Amino acid sequence: MKTFRFKLFLALCGLSLFLGVKTFYDKKSSQSYPPSKVSLLSIKKELKNYSTADLYTMLSAGEEILKWNETLQKHHTHIVSEVLKKKGTFYEKRHYPLDDTFDWDTYSQYYYHAHRGGEHGHFHLFLRQGGMSKGASPIYYNPHNKTFSDIDTYAHLIAISMNEKGQPLSLFTTNSWVTGEDWYGASDVKQMISRFHVTHSHPSHIVNMWLDAMLILFRPQIERLIEKRDEVLQKDGKGGYFKEVLEKRSLEVISKCEISIDAQIRAIKEYLDESKEDKGPPYLKI
């Protein structure tokens, strides 16, 4: 009987690999990730372009993220588990939730999936035209989309790579062919970041609020990655057609950077403290 059970177990494992399945056991694995290489100094350099009010807004978002993480930890779960909760077996390349998360009031959309090594999976965040500011127009309209409309026309904002413990590893941008998006310039996409907001509770209120806060906390990195994305495409597309670059299969992830919630919060706090010290003592009238 034991031999039969063991053979059955091996057969099921082989079937899972054949189908491209990430099982629950995978999510609980002891896979180790290299320690974060995030530099506080590099973060502080990016903070120089933002006002004190912006920095306090980022700090507030960071504290909110820590609050949500702590709430989930008390229930022995985390952000990734919340997205996959009650969804059965976790299959590679399948969207979670299966019909994506979409807010009809803000036209914000996201899903979680997996198809790469070095991570458990990643979130893809989008904004459809109905949620964009007036005047935003794609540089390139993807013909695969049905019509040029508030629903069918959309932009990919950023992707967030996650490990199996529900911790963010990195942020990255992708080429147009990866998500089938319509291509908007960096200036338009950066404005879209603040317009992303999921107001309902599907699949999880905490996950939705967590993603909103992540866009605020890591605004400097996200804006830099979006700018870098355009720089890379322009350089790669010299002497050729822009459309060909957007369909270039060898160019998938365009820009990427590692992130750390703790390091980001610490850098902002230190930068704010250092800024106060640089101003020196208050001026006294005599």
pLDDT digits (tens, 9 = 90+) for 58-99: 999 999 999 999 999 999 999 999 999 988 889 999 999 999
Q: Residue 253 above 90 pLDDT?
A: yes
Q: Give me the pLDDT at residue 30, please.
A: 39
Average pLDDT, the chain: 87
174-189: average pLDDT: 97
Weakest mean pLDDT among 7-21, 99-113, 169-183: 7-21
Q: Tell me the pLDDT band of 19, cut-offs 50, 70 and 90.
A: very low
Q: State the Cα–Cα distance between residues 114 and 256, nearest whole angstrom.
A: 17
Residues 114-160: pLDDT tens digits? 999 999 999 999 999 999 999 999 999 998 888 899 999 999 999 99
- Is the pTM higher than 0.95? The answer reads no
**15 pLDDT exceeds 50?**
no
Q: Which residue has the higher pLDDT, 19 or 224?
A: 224
Q: Give the mean model confidence (pLDDT) for residues 14-29.
A: 38
**pLDDT attached to residue 6:** 36
pLDDT tens figures, 160-173: 999 999 999 999 99
pLDDT at 16: 39
281 has a pLDDT exceeding 80:
no
Cβ–Cβ under 8 Å, residues 130 and 150: yes
Q: Read off the pLDDT of each residue in 42-54 and give the average, rounded to a whole number.
A: 96
The total of other beta-carbon atoms located within 10 Å of residue 146's CB is 9
Taking the C-alpha atoms of residue 193 and residue 210, their distance in angstroms, rounded to an integer, is: 14
What is the pLDDT at residue 218?
98
Please, what's the largest Cα pairwise distance for the chain? 94
Return the pLDDT at 280. 52
Residue 238 or residue 25, greater confidence = 238
**SS3 string of the chain?**
CHHHHHHHHHHHHHHHHHHCEECHHHHCCCCCCCCCCCCHHHHHHHHCCCCHHHHHHHHHHHHHHHHHHHHHHHCCCCHHHHHHCCCCCEECCCCEEEEEEEECCCCEEEEEECCCCCCCEEEEEEEEHHHCCCCCCCCECCCCCCCCCCCCCEEEEEEEEECCCCCEEEEEEECHHHHCCCECCHHHHHHHHCCCCCCCCCCCHHHHHHHHHHHHHCHHHHHHHHHHHHHHHHHHCCCCCHHHHHCCCCCCEEEEEECCHHHHHHHHHHHHHHHHHHCCCCCCCC
Res. 271: pLDDT tops 60: yes
Taking the alpha carbons of 38, 213, 171, 75 in that order, is the dihedral positive or negative? positive
Alpha-carbon distance of 155 to 274, in angstroms, equals: 37
The pLDDT assigned to 242 comes to: 84
Q: What is the CA radius of gyration of the chain?
A: 21
**In whole angstroms, what is the distance from residue 270 CA to residue 280 CA?**
16
pLDDT given for residue 189 in this prediction? 98
